[in-house]
């Protein structure tokens, strides 16, 4: 097989771009049935020893060797070490010929796995998980509401995630809060809750949060002067309106303190 004569190329994985879904589909359609079978096995089972792949697929050792070579050549497969690759190149290593340590079949040396196997699949899932986290936190999500958030995917990825959820009918998209630009997305229950509050009388209840809480949106969504996100500080809301410390305790109590 011509591919067995190809030189092995070593490259730092960090320098390699993640394959796109288009490139992954192109690779998969060009694979033989045996290679596709091994590809699916490794996707489901993860890193596996050669013997496990043989048992799990029910194929001959020679067929698995050919399939692994196809995956390596397509940039889809990799191994724990060079011994795995050498075992495919050298028939004597596969047969366990030689003396001393080399008498052991080299297919036992390490495991085979997929290179960046789940990047194109797991990324949308991770983005949608972030979308659900934000929806459960805020009820209604817009770009301005994320000013205090960190470690989030870029907004363009979140936007695509929200749109997918809306297309599936799991959330709602629209303009639920006036005065803000851009698309807004919300849980159905949050939309109903916002509509219901219009007819409720003011309660006068005060809610106090740590200034480090992501809901510290004073000066961002809620009118007022921004409060630094420091754990020692707090922000308070009364009927949804930010209030100062003086307003919270009353001017007389503040003067006495």
Q: List, for residues 65-120, the tens digit of each pLDDT value.
A: 889 888 887 888 888 877 777 777 765 555 555 555 544 444 556 788 887 645 55
- Does residue 257 share a domain with residue 228? yes
Query: Pick from 65, 100, 117: which residue ends a domain?
Result: 117
3-state secondary structure of 170: coil
pTM above 0.75, yes or no: no
- Does residue 230 share a domain with residue 176? no
- Does residue 134 share a domain with residue 159? yes
Q: Determine which of 26-35, 119-128, 159-168, 222-231 has the lowest per-residue pLDDT on average.
A: 26-35
* CA dist., res. 102 & res. 206, Å (int): 76
- Does residue 170 share a domain with residue 109? no
Dihedral sign, CA of 74, 80, 83, 84? Answer: negative
- Does residue 164 share a domain with residue 99? no
Nearest to 237 by CA among 213, 204, 212, 214: 204
Q: What is the pLDDT of residue 104?
A: 44
Query: Pick from 156, 179, 200: which residue ends a domain?
Result: 200
What torsion, rounded to 10 degrees, do the Cα atoms 243, 249, 251, 253 define? -160
- The boundaries of the domain holding residue 223 are 202-257
Listed in sequence order, the residues at least 6 apart from 187 whose beta carbon sits closer than 8 Å to its beta carbon are 135, 136, 139, 140, 171, 172
User: What distances in angstroms separate CA 46 from CA 49, 99, 104, 134, one per listed residue?
Assistant: 10, 33, 25, 31
């Amino acid at each position: 097989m011509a591919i067995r004569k190809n030189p092995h190329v070593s490259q730092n994985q960090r320098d390699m771009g993640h394959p796109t879904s288009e490139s992954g589909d192109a690779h998969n359609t060009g694979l033989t049935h045996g290679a596709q079978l091994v590809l699916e096995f490794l996707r489901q089972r993860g890193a596996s020893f050669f013997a496990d792949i043989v048992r799990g697929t029910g194929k001959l050792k020679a067929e698995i060797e050919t399939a692994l070579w196809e995956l390596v050549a397509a940039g889809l497969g990799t191994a724990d070490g060079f011994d795995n690759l050498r075992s495919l190149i050298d028939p004597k290593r596969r047969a366990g010929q030689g003396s001393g340590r080399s008498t052991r079949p080299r297919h036992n040396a390490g495991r085979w796995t997929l290179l960046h196997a789940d990047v194109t699949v797991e990324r949308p899932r991770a983005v949608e998980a972030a979308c659900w986290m934000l929806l459960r936190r805020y009820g209604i999500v817009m770009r301005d509401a994320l000013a205090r958030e960190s470690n989030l995917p870029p907004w363009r990825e979140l936007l695509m995630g929200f749109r997918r959820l809306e297309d599936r009918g799991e959330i709602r998209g629209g303009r639920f809060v006036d005065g803000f630009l851009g698309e807004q997305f919300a849980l159905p229950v949050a939309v109903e809750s916002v509509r219901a509050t219009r007819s409720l009388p003011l309660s006068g209840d005060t809610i106090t949060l740590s200034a480090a809480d992501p809901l510290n949106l004073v000066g961002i969504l809620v009118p007022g002067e921004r409060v630094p996100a420091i754990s020692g500080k707090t922000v308070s809301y009364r009927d949804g309106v930010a209030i100062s410390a003086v307003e919270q305790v009353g001017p007389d109590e503040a003067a006495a303190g």
